[in-house]
Amino acid sequence: MVGRPRIFFFWLKKKTKIITTGLTYKADKCVNIKDYVTTLPKDEPIVFVCGAFAHGQADLSICDEEIAISEYPLSGSVVCGKVCCAFEDLWGIL
């Protein structure tokens, strides 16, 4: 598994399936993140790769899927906040 970050090797030792989702506004599939997280498996680890950079871009080739959560570019902090809020709503965290 060339090119995967080190955290993947930890999970691979445990034989855990990892769902990886790349977040970029350039993706063909634009979703409502609150609806999207409800479709994810509840018993498997989920990894989001955020493609928000001031310079350069993320290597999303390690991802199973690429999605956009907005039709417009968002800062990394906004993207991470939206993902966290979606999971808070899903899990009923106030």
pLDDT score, position 11: 58
Specify which residues 66 forms β-bridges with: 22
Residue 59 in this model has a pLDDT that exceeds 50: yes
Q: Is the confidence at residue 56, as pLDDT, over 70?
A: no
Work out whether the CA dihedral 31, 34, 37, 38 comes out positive or negative: negative
Q: Where are the domains of the chain?
A: 6-91
* Per-residue pLDDT tens digits for 67-79: 888 888 888 888 8
6-91 CATH, one of 3.30.360.10, 3.90.110.10, 3.40.1280.10, 3.90.1150.10: 3.40.1280.10
DSSP string, 3-67: T--HHHHHHHHTT---EEEEE-TT-S-B--HHHHHHTS-TTS-EEEEE---SSS---GGG-SEEE
